[in-house]
Structure formats: structure tokens, C-alpha cells
Amino acid sequence: MFVQRRQILLNAAKLFDLLIMIFCFALSAYVEVYSTGNITFSHFLSMRIKVHNFLLFAGFLCVWHLLFSGMGLYNSRRLSSWWSETLDILKATTIGTFIMFAISVIFNISMINNTFLLPFWAACSSLSIIGRLSIRYVLKKIRVRGRNLRHMLIIGTNNRAVQFVRKVESRPELGYCIVGFVDKNWEGMREFYNAGYELAANLGELQDFLNESVVDEIMIALPVCSYYDRISEILTLCEQQGIIVRFLGDFFNTKLTRIGVDHFDNDCIITQYAGNMRARSVLIKRLLLDIPLSLIVLVVLSPLFLFIPLLIKVLSTGTVFFVQHRLGLNKRKFSLYKFRTMIPGAEEKLAELEHLNEVKGAAFKIKDDPRITPLGRFLRKTSLDELPQLFNVLSGDMSLVGPRPLPIRDYNNFQQDWHRRRFSVRPGVTCLWQVNGRSHCSFDKWMELDMQYIDNWSLWLDLKILLKTIPAVLKGDGAA
């Protein structure tokens, strides 16, 4: 009954979000059309919808739903803060509005302009946040008064279990009632009793306790290695009685990785992620940012793809493009494309210049590289040499945002394994290093910024880096 009721509420929330978007779209469209003074309200309502526009709007509805799902807005939020939910809503509506702008550019939809987008974003964000906070407020009042509670039993009496319970007890609005602790006698029991708690049952009495008590969820805080067989028995017991089971996820006390759950046929697979980016996140990032934005930039800057090659041919000898093998996702080799900025045979001359390297670490940088042509210096200063990498983004070898792809020569000079974690995500055209001084950063600082990006990744972070890249490129800060 509880699962069915939750599914009904979840579907209602999804429908509510889509209705808000449709209402805000219609409201913004009316504001845009009415502001011209050439149409009445009744005429606006009677306007015919073209099949082409209907299909575009239906597709955008799917994108909107995908965004809200990708931000985890349909996951259980009982254990998360209102502020984190508000931020996720703002991220979803902001990216969704940006995608709507991209669609309007690609399909030349004149109605969707600044006058349309600002009211749309403000209305969607405000109504979505007000709706979610209202639901939270109502649920909080209900739970504080002892309704809508979930009875949770804790399996384990170690310090992790005690700390978890204290956090839950300090927040009655979460709606959890701790039934008690279950464990066997062990050397840490005195510390557990000193914390002010008592055993509700011994591990051997768990089945009888579940038969006689109200338990909605079980939180397992036992060490997996030494209690594997017992945990397996508990899972089977809870499966038979239909009780939800949760785990305190830091099984092996890893510091940076995150735990997720996947399913393969009938098998449940616990996955350790080295960072904040998962398969679903990568797909959303590619569909909502990488592909549409790359296409837009290619269209807008298409004259440069004719003008720059012409300049390169006129002012220097050699090919237009520089193609080099770089290491991408999980050290896969791919061909990176740039406009050529050096003299022919520059790669072969690198060994002669190694002693002039000004960077401590695996990278190679010298301020006045004699191999760079005068035009190449300008292209590097303005980052115009990077434009062909948009084709690498479209092919899937790169992303718009991510750690910069390194030459094989640099990788071979890596001295520390933690540097290699940068290859756990697709390399990018721009990154935190790119907007934080570039050549002014030391190699270790560069790697630290890459780790910071991987550990804190979100679509919102990608969007912020892209926006910061524009002034960084215009100023030429730190460009080599």
C-alpha cells in the first residue's frame, strides 16, 4: 500500500512539473505576443498550432522531464535539505531555458527571445520552488505531529550507527521513528550503552522482533566483511516480509568515491564511482549541452572556419590542421584537431627544447616557443586554434567541459597515480584550469583543479565554466 501510494504521488509530481512548464510557456507566449499590441487575447487562444511546432514542443517536454529526473527531483527527498532541492530546481529550469534558447536559434523561432525567456524562466523557477517548498512544509507539519512516520530499525551498534541515529533524531521533520538497535554482544557495546542507547533485540531474535513489531525500513550498519552471511540472512528475511533495507554506504571507508546501485537482469550491483559523474549524467550532459551548443557555435562561427584556414595558407607553409594523438576517457587514444599554430615539423623539434621547459611536472610550456608562428601566437592568445575541437565533441571523443586532453608525451611523465584520475571523464575544450589562469597555474594546481571538477561535477558547474570561459578568452588570461 505504501509503495502504491508513493508511486501515485510520484506520478502526480511529474505531471505537476510538466503542467507548470506548459502554463509558463503559454503565459510567456501571451506576454510576448500581447506586448506587440497586434493581437487580442481571444485571437491568441484561437491560433492554430502547426504540426512542426507541436512536435518541437513535445520534444521539449521530454527534455524538461529528463532534466528534472536527471537532477534527482523525483528521488526520495526525505533525507535531503530544502536548499539542495531548490538549487536542483534552479539548475533544471536554467538549463532548460538555455536549451529552449538553443532550439529557437537552430529552428529560427522568432517568438522565443529575451522578452519570452526571462518571464518563462522566472515563472517556472518560482512556481516549481513554491510547489516543492509547500509540499515540504505540509509534510513537515504532519511529521512533527507524529503522522506520515517511517519506523526504522538499526542493525548494528558501532559508532557509524549511533552517529546516524543522532542526526535523524535531531531532525523530526524527516519523519523517522527509530524503533531501536539490533546487534550481538561485542567489545564495543560499553561505548554504545554509554551513548545512552539500549538494544531492542539480539541478532538471533531479529526474526521474532520483526514478526511482532512495526518496521518500515531497516538500516544496516554492520561491517560487511565479518557479517556477510548474517547480512545475507537479514536481506532474505526482509525480502520475505517486504521491508525496505538501506545500507550506510561507506563499506570500505573510501574518501572520494561515491556508491550507486545498478541492476542487471535480476542481479543488484553496487557500483563505486570515482567522482560525481555517472552514466546517466554523461548522457544528459551530452544531449543537453555538448551536442546542441557545439552545433550552435559551429553555425555562428562558421565564417571563421573559412577565414582562418585561408590566413594559415597565406601566411605560412604546411597543413591547415594540426592533428595529434591524445588520451581521452580511460586513456583511450583519439585524434585531436586544432588549427595549426606551429611551423612544420614542430613535434620533431620538441626534444631539442626540453631543457627550456618552464613547468614543473609532466607538461611542457615555454613562454616564447620558437616553433610558434606569428599567426599561431594570435590564434593561441584568442583560443581560436581550439575551434576544430568542436568536431571532437560531436564525435564523442571530447566534451565541451572537462580536463584538457594531454599528449601521450605528458602522460608518460606522470609521477603520481592520483593525477591519472583525470582520465575517468571525457576531456574537454575548456575546464577550471582554463578559466583560472591557464599557463599561470603550476602543474600540480592544474591537476588539483581537475580533481575538483570531477568530484563536484554538475550541469550547473559546466554551465558556469562555459560562461566564465568567454571573458577568459577575450582577455587572453594565461594563454600560452
The answer to whether residues 18 and 160 belong to one domain is no
Q: Is residue 263 part of a domain?
A: no
The answer to whether residues 33 and 139 belong to one domain is yes
Look at the pTM and tell me if it is higher than 0.75: no
The answer to whether residues 334 and 449 belong to one domain is yes
Which stretch of DSSP H or E encloses residue 91? helix 82-106
Distance CA 121, CA 134 (A): 20
pLDDT at 70: 80
The answer to whether residues 443 and 393 belong to one domain is yes
Distance CA 435, CA 474 (A): 11
The answer to whether residues 215 and 286 belong to one domain is no
- Residue in 307, 351, 342, 309 with CA at minimum distance from that of residue 324: 342
- Alpha carbon distance, N-terminus to C-terminus of the chain: 63
Round the CA-based radius of gyration of the chain to a whole number and report it: 28
Domain boundary among 128, 144, 160: 144
Q: Is residue 431 part of a domain?
A: yes
Given a contact cutoff of 8 angstroms between Cβ atoms, the answer to whether 423 and 452 are in contact is: no
Per-residue pLDDT, averaged over 326-339, amounts to 92
Q: What is the total count of domains within the chain?
A: 3
The answer to whether residues 287 and 215 belong to one domain is no
The answer to whether residues 207 and 120 belong to one domain is no
Q: Is pLDDT of 334 > 50?
A: yes
172: domain CATH number is 3.40.50.720
- Residue in 435, 433, 441 with CA at minimum distance from that of residue 464: 435
pLDDT band at 216 (very low <50, low <70, confident <90, very high): confident
Given a contact cutoff of 8 angstroms between Cβ atoms, the answer to whether 162 and 197 are in contact is: yes
pLDDT at 124: 92
pLDDT at 1: 47
pLDDT band at 340 (very low <50, low <70, confident <90, very high): very high
- Residue in 379, 389, 369 with CA at minimum distance from that of residue 473: 379
The answer to whether residues 43 and 172 belong to one domain is no
pLDDT band at 433 (very low <50, low <70, confident <90, very high): confident
The answer to whether residues 160 and 207 belong to one domain is yes
Could you read off the pLDDT of 93-123 as tens digits, one per residue? 988 888 888 888 887 777 777 778 888 999 9
Q: Is residue 480 part of a domain?
A: no
Lowest-pLDDT range of 139-148, 441-450, 470-479: 470-479
The answer to whether residues 203 and 295 belong to one domain is no
Domain of 209? 150-253
Q: Is pLDDT of 252 > 70?
A: no
pLDDT at 35: 66
Strands 406-407 and 321-327: antiparallel
Domain boundary among 144, 160, 179: 144
The answer to whether residues 342 and 468 belong to one domain is yes
pLDDT band at 83 (very low <50, low <70, confident <90, very high): confident
The answer to whether residues 305 and 454 belong to one domain is yes
Q: What are phi and psi of 303, to 5 degrees?
A: -60, -30
Distance CA 472, CA 430 (A): 10
pLDDT at 130: 92
Domain boundary among 123, 144, 165: 144
Per-residue pLDDT, averaged over 321-349, amounts to 89
Neighbours of 52 (CB within 10 A): 9
pLDDT at 368: 80
**What proportion of the chain, given as a percentage, has pLDDT over 70?**
86
pLDDT at 251: 59
- Polymer length in residues for the chain: 480
Lowest-pLDDT range of 7-16, 104-113, 155-164, 293-302: 104-113
Q: Is residue 273 part of a domain?
A: no
pLDDT at 274: 66
Could you read off the pLDDT of 261-301 as tens digits, one per residue? 666 566 666 666 666 777 677 888 888 889 999 999 999 99
Give me 181's grid cell. 538497535
Q: Is residue 84 part of a domain?
A: yes
Mean pLDDT (the chain, rounded) = 83
Could you read off the pLDDT of 242-251 as tens digits, one per residue? 888 888 765 5
